[in-house]
Amino acid sequence: MPARTRAGESVNTRLLFTPLSAIVAAALLSAACGTSQTPQQAGPPSARVLPSILLVTLDTTRADAIGPEAAGIATPAFNAVAARGRRFRQAYATAPETLPSHASMMTGLYPAGHAVHENGRTVSSGQPLLAEQLRKAGYRTAAFVSSFILARRFGLARGFDRYDDDLPAGREERVAAATTDAALALLGGQPSTQPLFLWVHYFDPHAPYTPPEPYRTTYSRNPYLGEVASMDAQFGRLVQSFERLAKGPVAVVVVGDHGEGLGDHGELLHGNLVYQSTMHVPLVLVGPGVPADTVDTPVSARRVYHTILDWAGVDATGSLRGVVSEIVLGEAMKPFLEYGWQPQTMAVEGRQKSILAGRMEIYDVVADPRESRDLASTATQSPQLQVAIRDYPVPSAESAKPPDTLSEDARRSLASLGYVSATAAPIVRKGAPRPADMTRMFDLLEKASGLFVNGQYARVIPLLEKILAEDSHNLDACLRLAIAHSSLGHDGRAEEIFRKAGELAPRSPDVRLYLALHYARSRDWARAEPLLEQIVAATPDRLPALEALAVIRERQGRIAEAVGLRQQIYAMRKPSGDELAQLGQLAMGTEQTALAIDAFEKARAGQGSLFAHDLELGVLYLAARRYEDARSALDRVTASHPEFPMALFKRAQVSVLLNEPDRAARIDRARRYADQTTRALIARERLFQGAR
């Protein structure tokens, strides 16, 4: 059982492709609308000196909760930056969840393009990322994130020289002040002539809303706004230091990753709907070639990627420094992927926003920003918009690998829209409800999710049963119910419900994964092993599967494979000191000396005086002919160590090899304290013969 089973972790997704007509249509669309032209006057960054770039992402920040037009809140730092730059009044997240939205900013693609539709998934290792490109362009790169949702394991760390996802022990988030301190420590450190790309992510406005003083008091009637105001103050500190300490010109992007429902349309939080409350986000650019103005043309937050590449002199295509006029798309697929409800997409053209989820809704978001008057019966959509929203590829919960039959041209056309294309229609079950009609379930789903994620299995079971009573096709609830029973040792009941989950989603890799973990938990290794092998082969980035398979390989004595799996795991998440020490021992057992030394050294650095493997480390250094290091390590082994005689024997060897004056005394001491094992070794040791 993985330590964390996040809301998004129960259905794997792969793109299926939509029919060929969609490809043609998409090609037309990109030809008709263009995507962007960067006008000549914007040009390359001035004097070809690359600016240092600060990207600040504001989690859960509604467009109407920050900036000069926000009501009931003062955000002076954001306002000051906005006054110097370009503020987009119609910017949209690509999805109302943290990881998919950030993945769009780091890839320039809609979720349909990067395939991360929910939190808890992993950005594919083959997907080029912004930081990688900036590093190639000569940038130093650093990221400071504030939530577990963006931890290294989810795939966005690639390309960052430093990716700081250090959260306070036992917490899943850190406050903006702490994240800012960490980022400022980097800025205050070693000066460099290289330009810097710094990404800072603040998480504070995410529920629960508990702002620090004085914001708690000032905003006691609206603690959500208190969180935003408090974050704004930290943002101000950050920008000020960045502009002061960065060498040369600077550019700043500040953008929300999605908003918060706060009760609009029956949604308190975010993730289930695509109304303005959660999709409309703040976005401001300041930097070379950017005038101080406001822009009312709708833009997608994915363009942050293109804009930053433009500043870095890599490519100006799609940059928001120029004029971008396009249909802006968005999606909220969690209810579809997790609960089997209607897939949800949105498209904004000018002031008209369309939402497609079972049926079409149309709103004028300028005249009616609360989306209270559905104009679907009277308004007309442009043909381009109709195509864009209908053909936005819906992912498939059935995870078949998409056939690779697209022409290069079609692929390019679709890529210009920000998504890879599809060749098969998604499977939407008959009678699937519209998410907007299911708001009565949101609270129950949220409560169940909270209890489940915190491992309160006995308490979550009645809630999950209630959800299934109302919504019997809810795969997420079904799978969680099975896992809850499994965790409580109700093996028979668990297997019965896993069977039901398998009927709901016959090819779901998640059902297979959690069933495999169930077998592993109940020590049914014979049934766990083949399932885990399948899962790891198909999706090598599923951490819980890797962890369970590593345990099985160790039990089977297939140590070299276990070591390989552990290395894969620790590339995705930070290992504990104990885990590193254990890896060191495993690697030692397979004579991978360099790897073992590395693991033990890291364990020692983390554990300090609690580190208990100096003997192993000494032996490894000796094997690597690093005699001085071996001496230091062996000298740290205390007499209370159960294998102290071995330490004395090894220390005597080192002493001879280093030609120390007291080598004879050390050999005598090793003899005197010898146990059965070392007595034989000492007797045979050639180094000791004649070492007087």
Binding site for Zn ion (CB under 5 A): 59, 98, 257
Contact 156, 128 (CB under 8 A): no
Distance CA 312, CA 48 (A): 9
- In the complex, the smallest distance separating the C-beta of residue 604 from Zn ion, rounded to whole angstroms, is 37
Minimum CB separation of residue 201 from Zn ion in Å reads 9
Instruction: Pick the closer one to Zn ion by CB: 98 or 474.
Output: 98
Between helices 509-521 and 525-538, what is the axis angle to 10°? 150
Query: Are 449 and 5 within 8 A, CB to CB?
Result: no
Q: What are the residues facing 253 on neighbouring strands?
A: 55, 285
CB of 59 to Zn ion, least distance (A): 4
In the complex, the smallest distance separating the C-beta of residue 102 from Zn ion, rounded to whole angstroms, is 8
In the complex, the smallest distance separating the C-beta of residue 446 from Zn ion, rounded to whole angstroms, is 15
Longest dimension (CA), the chain: 103
**Within a 10 A sphere around the Cβ of 692, how many other Cβ atoms?**
7
Give the list of residues 6+ apart from residue 310 with CB closer than 8 angstroms, or none.
Answer: 38, 42, 316, 319, 321, 322
Which CB atom, from 271 or from 575, has the smaller least distance to Zn ion? Answer: 271
Report yes or no: 652 and 669 within 8 Å, Cβ to Cβ. Answer: yes
98 or 307: CB nearest Zn ion: 98
> Which is nearer to Zn ion, 59 or 331 (by Cβ)?
59
Q: Which is nearer to Zn ion, 97 or 398 (CB)?
A: 97
> How many CB atoms neighbour CB 103 within 10 A?
31
Smaller CB separation from Zn ion, 59 or 529: 59
Q: How far is the CB of 256 from Zn ion (least distance, A)?
A: 8
Q: Are 156 and 186 contacting, i.e. CB atoms less than 8 angstroms apart?
A: no
Which residue carries 């926003």 as its tokens? 353
Alpha carbons 672 and 484: distance in angstroms, whole number: 58
Give the count of beta carbons closer than 10 Å to the beta carbon of residue 137.
16
Shortest distance, position 178 Cβ to Zn ion, whole Å: 18
Closest CB to Zn ion among 234 and 416? 234
CB of 257 to Zn ion, least distance (A): 4
Distance CA 469, CA 16 (A): 31
Shortest Cβ 97–Zn ion spacing (Å): 6
CB of 312 to Zn ion, least distance (A): 25
Cα–chain center distance at 179? 17
In the complex with Zn ion, the residue whose CB is nearer, 257 or 371, is 257
Q: Which is nearer to Zn ion, 101 or 678 (CB)?
A: 101
Closest-approach residue to Zn ion (CB): 98
User: For the chain, give me the number of helices (H) and strands (E)?
Assistant: 28, 17
Contact 331, 50 (CB under 8 A): no
How far CA 462 is from CA of 455, 475, 485, 499, 568, in Å, comes to 14, 16, 11, 19, 37
Determine the 3-state secondary structure of 349 from DSSP.
strand
**Of 149 and 647, CB closest to Zn ion:** 149
**DSSP 8-state class, residue 402:** P
Closer residue to Zn ion in complex, CB, 98/179: 98
Q: Which is nearer to Zn ion, 59 or 391 (CB)?
A: 59
Q: Which is nearer to Zn ion, 123 or 484 (CB)?
A: 123
Burial 78-95 (b: 16+ CB within 10 A, else e): bbebbeebbbbbbbbbbb
Amino acid present at 80: A
State in angstroms the smallest separation of the CB of 100 from Zn ion. 9
As a whole number of angstroms, the distance between CA 605 and CA 381 comes to 62
Q: What is the dihedral of CA 509, 514, 516, 522, to 10 degrees?
A: -170
Closest separation between CB of residue 101 and Zn ion, Å? 6
423: β partners: 17
Nearer to Zn ion by Cβ, of 275 and 311: the residue is: 275
Least spacing, CB of residue 572 vs Zn ion, in Å: 21
The Cβ-side half-sphere exposure at 522, using a 13 Å CA radius, reads 20
Residue 6 or 86 with smaller CB distance to Zn ion: 6
Tell me whether residue 45 or residue 256 sits nearer to Zn ion (CB atom): 256
Side chain identity at residue 378, one-letter code: T
Cα–Cα dist 611/633, whole Å: 11
Q: Which residues contact 359 (CB under 8 A, 6 or more apart)?
A: 376, 434
Alpha carbon distance 258, 280 (integer Å): 7
What is the closest distance, in whole angstroms, from the C-beta atom of residue 147 to Zn ion in the complex? 7
Write down the least CB distance from residue 57 to Zn ion, Å.
8
Least Å distance, CB 556 to Zn ion, is 41
Cα–Cα separations (whole angstroms), residue 120 to 4, 6, 456, 541, 566: 9, 6, 19, 11, 20
Q: How far apart are CA 630 and CA 654, in angstroms?
A: 7
> Got the DSSP string for 468-507?
HHH-TT-HHHHHHHHHHHHHTT-HHHHHHHHHHHHHHSTT
